Structure 1
Amino acid sequence: EPYWSSDGIDLISDLTWLVVFAFSASVSVQISRLIREKEMRLREIMRMMGLMDVSYYLSWLITQILTWLIICLAISLVMKVGTYKHSSWFLIFMLNISFGLSSMSFAFLMSAIFTRERVGAVIGFFVYLAGLFISVPDYATASTKNFMSLIPIVGFREGLGVVGYLEETYGGLTSDTTSVDYRNYSYAQAVAMNFVASILWWILYYYVDQTNPFQVGFRRPYYFPFQKSYWLECFRDERNADFLDDEKEDSDGGEGNAVPREAVDASKEALRKAGKCVEISKLCKNFKGPSGETVAAVKGVSMSMYEGEIFALLGHNGAGKTTTMGAITGFLAPSSGKVSVYGLRVPKDMAAIRRITGVCPQHNALWPELTAFEHLECFGGIRGLNRSSKTFRESCDHLLLEVGLGGRKEFRSDSLSGGMQRKLSVAIAFVGDPKLVILDEPTSGMDPYARRTTWDLLKARRPGRIICLTTHYMDEADVLGDRIAIMGRGELKCLGSSSFLKKCYGCGYVLSFVKKQDVDRGDSTVLEFLKDRITDKSLIGQVKVLSSAGQELLVQVPFAAAKDFPALMDDLDAEIANKSDTLKGLLVAYGVSVTNLEEVFLRVADPGAEERSEGATARSGNPSLRAVVPLDSVDNDSANQADDQDARIPETVVHIGEEDEPIIEPATTREQTMALIQRRIRFGLRDRKMFICQLLLPLILLAGALALVKQGASERVAPPLAISIADLNEPLQKAGSPRPWHIIHAGGDSDVGPFWSPLCDDADDYCDTLRTVATPPNQSSDLLAMQSHLRESRDDYEASSYIAFSHLNNATELQREAEDPPSRVVLWHNLTATASSAIALNAYVNAWFAAHGTDVKVTVVNHPMPQTLFEQNISVVVSGILSTIAVIWAFAFIPAGICSYIVMEKEKDVKAQLAISGCSMTAYWLAHFIFDTVFNLLTVAVAIAVFYAFDMEAFTESDKIGPTIMLLLLFAPSASTYAYLISFLYKTQFSAQTVTIVLNIAVGTIVVIVVSVLQTIPEEFCEDCLVAGNILMWIFRFVPSFALGFGFYRMAIYVSFLGVDPWGSEIFGTCTEKVLGTREQCYGGVADDLVYLAFASVAFLALCIWFDYLGTAGHWLSYKVKLERQCSIPEDQLAPEDADVTVEKERVAELDKRKQILAVDNVRK
């Protein structure tokens, strides 16, 4: 029976690969940017400052829809001009945009699952492309295809198949053919299911985004859609100010009375009653430790912050400061306790709290692409300000001037220095005049001048708001903090003003003395001088030496001794003026100041630190260490001993004795290599990303792809298929009572009725699908007239006409009493329907049997013919090619993971630190090579087992398993050295991983396909294609992914299909002469690829070592040239030198540089 050829249809449907690859880049970028905003905590910072989730979602939806519109418009134009010339451009665009929207929603879902850009972008990209390997059988039911169409790529591919069918058979996709079925699927189904998938994936994204346990911030419970509070929140803004009514205890009271606290005055109590404060009551926050244990970051903290004050929160690293501030802003959900801000409860009223909160996080949460002014505009928009108003723009300009960025307003943030970025972060916190400003180490990274500018800004903007800041600069807290709280190990240690804390912890005044040079008396003389002039002898025990270094001596005295200062200072003035000989000219100058807050911090934050410091000082005998030494424990002997040690320090530290040799012998390359391998093993055992990227992901992707390949191979042998008239038109609404003679030629109702009624029953209400609009031919018409009638009347029916019957004898042959079937019957069938002739015959026979009262019913089943040997070989080849693509995609992760680690060490200066420490670059690269190769061999071993598990005959048969194993074994070391070599091209870890994966996939698949096509194009069509293909082949074989992919491709095509020797080589002349098409060529196996892989393993490693040594040699060469060419600096351009600097220069010039541990002599840069 004639049928439509599917070659053109399949060719058109193959456009799926090209279009999907064009779309996949946008999907990857979208996933990356969404995760980056989470990873950099930009989204949470915006939420802290009032951004509503619905606004965030809408902003992304609008920008992404516009992006996909532009992409789909361009692709639709290309498809219309190049392929679908007879189809409607608008309908093609609707298919593309529906696919784009489903892809967009799928990308949203992927971004919600992951929290790390580097991992999420890669895994999301491959999960999206996995749809290319999911095949739906042609004979699958419509419901099955609809369900599978929820996967974006699957639905789009099925839709393109329908469009290709319509382009080939119906003259294109038009408004009249949108519902035409092709293999139980239509264009309308494709578009509809893509839109349904868009909505479904978006709903899943919203749910995962709100409940994801791996992201920071408040997370909703898994059952939140069933909570009444959630729906109330969606439709109205609830505020609850009953915090003060629930619990009346003083939040500054804390747990017990052991914590020193300064009582607040009546004005602050009035602010508390008015709700103009931040109250924290018994706040606790727990985290899960690395071993699953519970770690308490904040333990029952209670305190208050009042309007109009700067509240300084101090503590050592890990004390719980940032966690406490995160609980206030809603960045972290408290484990227990209560927090209120201006009477609003956390977390119940977070939306209202965030509208009055400004935040400067510990890190710079900035978009690299935006300028300083655009950042202020963005956050002003989040706060609902009119960004186009003159007032707003002037306020932003003034704010930038206040932080010192007035001349940098149009500079992108990535072009600003670290200190300037901190200034911009501080400015962002004050956009919109918030009532609560949280500043987490705002001046870190700023120079002293910028710090003072920021201090002035905070003081000027203190009235009418609460400013809470953390800092590690004690002088900053001392100057700015109206009240200071110090935390230690998650607990509040003390709270009060600076003077209160200093008095509380026994601090006092600091007397600083500058001694003359070359004096032979120690510090004890000065201490005795002070002791004699303190009238209250009970205070002598509180006098402590803070430091004694060189000519400077710092001594702390209690506040109670201040009454003796006038007499003490008169005596010191007399000593300096040589009017007294008590100290005999020992002192040059003196000064007095109040003890800084650092002494309080050291005592409070970690009480054991002081004792440990004293113990270390006592053991070392070095008074220059910062220690606290009681006066009565210092005697003349110990002080003189300390002075003697100070005198000996320069000689023992600066250089080794003239006759001594260097203490440390350089390590051998073998020792360094073993040490670095041990380091790499320890790091690898704790690096889950390495196991995921280099072991689990490749194997999971390989196993999944091979499973899909095997499934597709099994579906190439179609199962038996029952066919009937019910498979034709879907039921339609009838316009009137159908009349049988409009279908069956000749005869009256009484003659054809018994025959027509069973036919309708067998056709499953087929009669109800016709509209009676056509006039049948005359009974005397011949066959030609019937054929003309069917052709001319096809547009008169709402449904398509597929079969018709003609009786050339009279109609009495259809009567019930006729015993034999009619002798002259003509069956008319529409060739556009598959198996229409068999359906027509089956329907007629069943109708005739039913008309004569028999129970016989004939069922027609189409049993496909068994595959021929050629078809079986083709199946093996196709499976081999798809398996090759799967191998390339899976093994693309291995060099990407290795390259990412190398770039990470370079990015974090680990490699530079090793080099400075004396590590040989040969040892460095050898250690990495040994570890990575051994680890890759583990992946290779499991991959071979996967091949056997899925019975991939193209690679596992007896004559092919050897080349397969050798390809994978040699890929392991070559992939490592290739990753090392290209690591020199990258600066960031993320770009190294992403670009390497894409590069390996492109070279391993696209370039392999291009080369293979060029090598097979007949010479009469392209004379130079073979030469071009061979040139590309030999060049790209230096890339391990190409050598691996091309080797597997040759195994699948040349070895399995053409019978080429798998060990054949063009290099060694052992290839096999074969004729492919009209061209005879010598085809090799995988030997040439093995040679290239082995060569790359050694050559790339040598290049890496050479590049590192070349860089060092080049540096010293350029230094030598510059040194030889340098000219002396004119005397008038030299800055005046101190006398001690000149003396030191002369001393260093006389030393033997070869015997010094470190010598710096006349260095210029």
Structure 2
Amino acid sequence: MLTYLVYEKQQKLKIMMKMQGLKDGPYWMISYGYFFVLSVVYMTFFVFFGSLIGLNFFRVNNYGIQIVFFFVYINLQIAFAFFVASFFSSVKIATVIGYIYVFGSGLLGAFLFRFFIEDINFSRGWILVMEIVPGFSLYRGLYELGQYAFSGNAMGATGMMWENLKDPINGMRDILIVMTVEWALMLVLAFYLDQVSSIGGSVGNPLLFFRCLQKKHAPPLQSSFAQQNHKVAVDMEKADVAQERQVVEQLLMDCNANQAIICDNLRKVYPGKDGNPDKLAVRGLSLALPKGQCFGMLGPNGAGKTSFISMMVGLTKPTSGTAYAHGMDIRMDMDGIYTNMGVCPQHDLLWETLTGKEHLFFYARLKNLQGAALVKAVNDSLKSVNLFHGGVGDKQVGTYSGGMKRRLSVAISLIGDPKVVYMDEPSTGLDPASRNNLWNIVKEAKRNRAIVLTSNYDSFPCPLMHLHHRLPCPPLYCI
């Protein structure tokens, strides 16, 4: 479970699903339910076959107690996995630490914790404190069941029954209470940490429960570096940049329902580290983009293209300024924006074990496509990016070349008829024929939506020049 959760975080698959419209609630419910069903199936077979081969551990003890014990521990284990996953961003490290915990707690339970339990002079309070560790709780429960099973078999009596929970030397009741309370607390903490953690690319907010208060009173963040350079930047603006800024200011004053995207003096400054100065990535970008238009952003590496896209899709927060997608503010309404947004990130965010068709089915369902419309949309998407013929769409993505993965990412960004699409260097790794086909796809797709795509200006092909109404010359427009 830990490996699965950290893998989705490491590969940024979770944030990719969120950008395609999957909310946190359904993600948690589906993941939790998946782990719970697997655990229940495993424990059912565990108890069934243990009883079938005649082990007294299962046959003698009351099955109701066993079911309750395993049920509570299963839920605690899942909550614990979610909680621990918040602290890892590497699958390898998480796997190593996970195995160390599993085997370490088992060995410590057998060769250390057991002697504390059997020592009548050892404080019961300290034992309860040690049982806060889920591995020790599991060991104590199994130990009690084993002791009652052994006693019942030796003396010809029954094993642990419900009335035995009142026995002061029986720790099962304390274990059930500790695990139940810890399960609830761990789940709440895991959800909170998931929201505030920035590991894995999502925006974290430590004041989650005071978010409304923070938005109401907190002034826009702006570093001293940005403040010092703001006046200079305004003075050096070119005529077309100043004109675009005036257009944005006018649209903000009037009704802007026809504008798909409006950026209002959007800025991003990364704080300096180790004595280095702050890094200005996006400098006062003002932009109005109507529906039915493809806007190309050109600039060399480091110009700020990806920083702009990251702010627009909710990966990072703007230092100052804001932007609107169909009237929704990126600072407060990202959940609503996600439902009408498509993203082709700079790096392909895909499951290696899923096929291309399975990716498109999954993301199309997130866009509420069903039945025949779902199948048609998936097949049309595969055909548009040349992944349909020859059964390519039914192969695992792990077998795809870099160009094939890139084409699949483009298809994912356009599935489900999103109203706004961001493509961050979509032509990277494509051969000339595939690149030309990509521009044809973009030309066709822009009819009903607004598209923002970026590219290095030295690799932007001439055929794209007719896809948009205005294309700034390098360096990158207003960044």
The normalised TM-score by structure 1 is 0.35
Gaps of 5+ in 2: 216-232
Letter in 2 for 1:421: K
User: In the alignment, does 2:283 pair up with 1:309?
Assistant: no
Aligned to 2:461, what secondary structure does the other structure show?
helix
Could you tell me how far 1:437 is from its partner in structure 2?
0.3
Letter in 2 for 1:277: A
- Residue 125 of structure 1 aligns with which residue? 99
- Residue 218 of structure 1 aligns with which residue? 203
Letter in 2 for 1:278: I
- Residue 261 of structure 1 aligns with which residue? 240
Aligned to 1:115, what secondary structure does the other structure show?
coil
- Correspondence for 1:91 among 65, 69, 83: 65
Residues 276 and 228 from structure 1, CA distance in 2 versus in 1: closer, same or farther, beyond 3 angstroms?
A: closer
1:314 and 1:471 in contact (8 A); partners too: yes
4+ residue runs over 6 A deviation: 266-272
User: In the alignment, does 2:304 pair up with 1:331?
Assistant: no
- Correspondence for 1:195 among 180, 183, 208: 180
Residues 181 and 142 from structure 1, CA distance in 2 versus in 1: closer, same or farther, beyond 3 angstroms?
A: farther
Deviation string for 1:1104-1127 (max 9, x for gaps)?
Answer: xxxxxxxxxxxxxxxxxxxxxxxx
1:110 and 1:124 in contact (8 A); partners too: no
Residues 337 and 202 from structure 1, CA distance in 2 versus in 1: closer, same or farther, beyond 3 angstroms?
A: same
Aligned to 1:304, what secondary structure does the other structure show?
strand
Alignment of 1:152-163 (within 5 A): 152-163=134-145
- Correspondence for 2:44 among 51, 73, 79: 73
Residues 460 and 267 from structure 1, CA distance in 2 versus in 1: closer, same or farther, beyond 3 angstroms?
A: farther
- Correspondence for 1:57 among 28, 35, 44: 28
2:65 and 2:162 in contact (8 A); partners too: no
1:255 and 1:282 in contact (8 A); partners too: no
Aligned to 2:354, what secondary structure does the other structure show?
coil
2:297 and 2:472 in contact (8 A); partners too: yes
Could you tell me how far 1:213 is from its partner in structure 2?
4.0
1:105 and 1:205 in contact (8 A); partners too: yes
Aligned to 1:445, what secondary structure does the other structure show?
coil
2:247 and 2:288 in contact (8 A); partners too: no
Deviation string for 1:168-218 (max 9, x for gaps)?
Answer: 3343444434514364x4323323322322222222211211112444222
Letter in 2 for 1:55: P
Residues 163 and 172 from structure 1, CA distance in 2 versus in 1: closer, same or farther, beyond 3 angstroms?
A: farther
- Correspondence for 2:266 among 267, 283, 290: 283
User: In the alignment, does 2:433 pair up with 1:462?
Assistant: no
1:87 and 1:167 in contact (8 A); partners too: yes
Could you tell me how far 1:428 is from its partner in structure 2?
0.6
Residues 292 and 195 from structure 1, CA distance in 2 versus in 1: closer, same or farther, beyond 3 angstroms?
A: farther
Residues 36 and 87 from structure 1, CA distance in 2 versus in 1: closer, same or farther, beyond 3 angstroms?
A: same
- Residue 148 of structure 2 aligns with which residue? 166
- Correspondence for 1:392 among 357, 360, 374: 374
- Correspondence for 1:403 among 385, 389, 392: 385
Q: Alignment identity in percent? A: 24
Deviation string for 1:284-312 (max 9, x for gaps)?
Answer: 22334552643232232222322111111
Q: Distance in 1 between matches of 2:320 and 2:473?
A: 21
Residues 131 and 275 from structure 1, CA distance in 2 versus in 1: closer, same or farther, beyond 3 angstroms?
A: farther
Could you tell me how far 1:91 is from its partner in structure 2?
2.9
Q: Distance in 1 between matches of 2:474 and 2:87?
A: 35
Q: Distance in 1 between matches of 2:213 and 2:418?
A: 28
Could you tell me how far 1:103 is from its partner in structure 2?
1.9
Letter in 2 for 1:120: A
Could you tell me how far 1:276 is from its partner in structure 2?
1.9
- Residue 176 of structure 1 aligns with which residue? 162
- Correspondence for 1:296 among 280, 284, 304: 280
User: In the alignment, does 2:342 pair up with 1:358?
Assistant: yes
Could you tell me how far 1:78 is from its partner in structure 2?
4.5
Aligned to 1:409, what secondary structure does the other structure show?
helix
Q: Distance in 2 between matches of 1:55 and 1:193?
A: 28
Could you tell me how far 1:493 is from its partner in structure 2?
4.6
2:198 and 2:204 in contact (8 A); partners too: yes
Letter in 2 for 1:110: V
2:298 and 2:473 in contact (8 A); partners too: yes
Could you tell me how far 1:333 is from its partner in structure 2?
1.4
Alignment of 1:703-1102 (within 5 A): none
Residues 267 and 40 from structure 1, CA distance in 2 versus in 1: closer, same or farther, beyond 3 angstroms?
A: same
- Correspondence for 1:443 among 423, 427, 430: 427
Larger Rg computed on CA atoms: 1
Letter in 1 for 2:284: G
Aligned to 1:483, what secondary structure does the other structure show?
coil
1:277 and 1:306 in contact (8 A); partners too: yes
Q: Distance in 2 between matches of 1:267 and 1:279?
A: 10
1:108 and 1:205 in contact (8 A); partners too: yes
Deviation string for 1:1070-1121 (max 9, x for gaps)?
Answer: xxxxxxxxxxxxxxxxxxxxxxxxxxxxxxxxxxxxxxxxxxxxxxxxxxxx
How many residue pairs get matched? 436
Could you tell me how far 1:280 is from its partner in structure 2?
1.7
User: In the alignment, does 2:80 pair up with 1:106?
Assistant: yes
1:272 and 1:306 in contact (8 A); partners too: no
Q: Distance in 2 between matches of 1:259 and 1:119?
A: 50
Alignment of 1:506-585 (within 5 A): none
Aligned to 1:255, what secondary structure does the other structure show?
helix
Could you tell me how far 1:275 is from its partner in structure 2?
4.7
The normalised TM-score by structure 2 is 0.83
Could you tell me how far 1:225 is from its partner in structure 2?
2.9
Could you tell me how far 1:394 is from its partner in structure 2?
1.0
Q: Distance in 2 between matches of 1:427 and 1:161?
A: 55
User: In the alignment, does 2:405 pair up with 1:421?
Assistant: yes
Q: Distance in 2 between matches of 1:331 and 1:465?
A: 22
Q: Distance in 2 between matches of 1:486 and 1:128?
A: 58
- What is the root-mean-square deviation of aligned Cα atoms in Å? 2.9
2:258 and 2:290 in contact (8 A); partners too: no
Q: Distance in 2 between matches of 1:285 and 1:267?
A: 22
Residues 486 and 64 from structure 1, CA distance in 2 versus in 1: closer, same or farther, beyond 3 angstroms?
A: farther
Q: Distance in 1 between matches of 2:129 and 2:212?
A: 32
Could you tell me how far 1:384 is from its partner in structure 2?
2.9
- Residue 218 of structure 2 aligns with which residue? none
Deviation string for 1:855-910 (max 9, x for gaps)?
Answer: xxxxxxxxxxxxxxxxxxxxxxxxxxxxxxxxxxxxxxxxxxxxxxxxxxxxxxxx
Q: Distance in 2 between matches of 1:290 and 1:470?
A: 28
Could you tell me how far 1:392 is from its partner in structure 2?
1.8
